[in-house]
Amino acid sequence: MKILHLATDNKFLDHAIPVFESVYPGANNVVIFAPQTPLKYVKLTPDYIETKRSGFLYKKPKLGKDFYRKYDLVIFHSLTVSTFPELASISEGTPTVWLGWGADYYEDLLGHLPLYLNTTQEIHNTLIASKPRHKVAKLVKGVVRAFRPKGRKIKGIENITLFSPVLPEEYDMVKNSRTWRQFPTFVSWNYGTMEDNLIKGFEGEIVTGNAILVGNSATYTGNHAEAFDLLHKLGVNDREVVTPLSYGDPQLAKELTSLGREYFSHNFEPLIDFMPVQEYVAIIKKCGYVIMNHVRQQAVGNIVIMLYLGARVFVRQENPVYDFFKKSGVVISTVQELGENPELLNLPLTAEERASNRAIVSDYWGRERAYERTRKLVEAAFAAKGVKSPALLAET
């Protein structure tokens, strides 16, 4: 069996390929679509890196039909503008899988959902307007959208076999976002395992302080400004506030660093530089409290790490992450609850609550569960096409 993985330069791929290789050794090839080399985030050695630039109005497939004929299964790690055009070159009989990351369906398919709170929207408008050639760029973007409508991506999605969003709750959100000719079948799959990625080197440890972790990246969807303002109104002025800003928009990172300094002075600790996960966890381990102020699903990996370490985590009530963890039995709070009850910032989880949260996330994101999901994903992809997977045929 030959499985092809299509992805862009992103850290998540290094969590995925070892899992597929453990279940299907020697079966996996990787193609990375990147504007240039060397790659910044992907550490594994891909089989091929595609750097060819596409046309102005519509990104056409870069790899031809002959390239895809030698593969039994094609997996898209996020459906980006660089990768979704490749669907046009893949035979209808070849099963395809879309492993969604969130950004690849929120913008194009769930764009009607307001993701920025008021102050964050103002910051967004100000920073975007201040960028050089903003008006020209906005005009060009409008023209590009007019000639390259999202309908091309929608048509591609209608030909995909299976779809795994980050959270099961998001499947119906995307499916119900419009009327589809046909829609991919649901499959459950997650990036990273507790043992190999999320808490490697920190097994059995717990949070060690009362610092507050806010957000996961320099993205507007984090609604950092509102979180900072809430903490300020709640009288937080003598505790460390840690904010990861190594991913995302550098201009926004600079703005949030300035805002954080204004609110919390020397107690504000922005994490500007990208660092290995072990070094990152060593820093955030001092955070007994976590505020993820996203309206949309985001930062699930960070939330899982902090739940494992025993932190009290706050997410927005309207975020599908909240429903997912509550249904799983996890003890989790909302940002809205914090606004009504500030004492929650001084109320650590009990030993029983920490143990329960750790057991739940350790099971769901455990290595064996990841292997099990991977087997089911591959078998389901072939079953949806009415055939047995080459792996099952080889066993018989």
Render 245-303 in DSSP notation, one character per residue: -SSB-HHHHHHHHHHHHHHHGGGEEEE-S---HHHHHHHHTTEEEEEE--SSS--HHHH
Q: Does the pLDDT of residue 323 top 60, yes or no? A: yes
- β-strand 73-77 against 162-164: which pairing, if any? unpaired
Signed CA dihedral, 95, 100, 105, 110: sign only: positive
Q: Per the structure block, which two tokens stand in for 138? A: 């906005």
Name the least confident of 60-69, 138-147, 344-353, 379-388.
138-147
Q: E-strand spans in 193-316?
A: 211-214, 241-244, 268-271, 287-292, 312-315
Chain-wide mean pLDDT for the chain?
Answer: 91
pLDDT higher for 189 or 113?
189
The pLDDT of 305-319, averaged and rounded, is 97
3-class state of residue 76 by DSSP: strand
Instruction: Please tell me the pTM assigned to this model.
Output: 0.89
Nearest to 308 by CA among 277, 336, 339, 334: 277
> CA 76, CA 88: separation in Å to the nearest integer?
13
**Inter-residue contact 167 to 189 (CB < 8 Å):** no
3-class state of residue 241 by DSSP: strand
Q: Does the pLDDT of residue 144 top 60, yes or no? A: no
Q: Per the structure block, which two tokens stand in for 193? A: 């395992």
> CA 295, CA 124: separation in Å to the nearest integer?
16
Q: Does the pLDDT of residue 140 top 60, yes or no? A: no
Residue 81, CA distances (Å) to 70, 115, 218, 258 in order: 24, 21, 21, 33
**Inter-residue contact 86 to 18 (CB < 8 Å):** no
Rounded (10°) CA dihedral 263, 266, 268, 270: 130
- β-strand 73-77 against 96-99: which pairing, if any? parallel
Output the pLDDT for position 277. Answer: 79
Output the pLDDT for position 278. Answer: 83
pLDDT higher for 112 or 49?
49
Taking residue 58's Cβ as centre, other Cβ atoms within 10 Å add up to 13
What are the structural domains, with CATH classification, of the chain?
3-112+152-191+367-386 (3.40.50.2000), 195-364 (3.40.50.2000)
Q: Does the pLDDT of residue 129 top 60, yes or no? A: yes
Q: Does the pLDDT of residue 394 top 80, yes or no? A: no
- β-strand 287-292 against 268-271: which pairing, if any? unpaired
Q: Per the structure block, which two tokens stand in for 334? A: 């909302």
**Inter-residue contact 37 to 48 (CB < 8 Å):** no
Q: Does the pLDDT of residue 6 top 60, yes or no? A: yes
What's the angle, vertex CA 125, arms to CA 107 and CA 295, rounded to 5? 45
Q: Does the pLDDT of residue 186 top 90, yes or no? A: yes
**Inter-residue contact 242 to 264 (CB < 8 Å):** no
> CA 267, CA 291: separation in Å to the nearest integer?
16
Output the pLDDT for position 143. Answer: 47
**Inter-residue contact 382 to 205 (CB < 8 Å):** no
Query: Which parts of 110-168 fold into alpha helices (H)?
Result: 118-130, 134-147, 151-157
Output the pLDDT for position 67. Answer: 96
Nearest to 252 by CA among 122, 78, 142, 118: 122
User: What is the Cα Rg of the chain in Å?
Assistant: 22
Output the pLDDT for position 276. Answer: 83
pLDDT higher for 137 or 78?
78
Q: Does the pLDDT of residue 318 top 90, yes or no? A: yes
- Mark 137-147 as b/e (b = at least 16 C-beta within 10 Å): eeeeeeeeeee
> CA 74, CA 76: separation in Å to the nearest integer?
7
User: Residue 48 — pLDDT band, cuts 50, 70, 90?
Assistant: very high
| Terminal Cα distance for the chain, rounded | 14
> CA 362, CA 165: separation in Å to the nearest integer?
20
Q: Name the burial class of residue 61, with classes exposed (0-12), middle (13-18) and buried (19+) by CB atoms within 10 angstroms of its CB.
A: middle
DSSP type of residue 348? P
Signed CA dihedral, 328, 303, 208, 203: sign only: positive
Output the pLDDT for position 57. Answer: 47
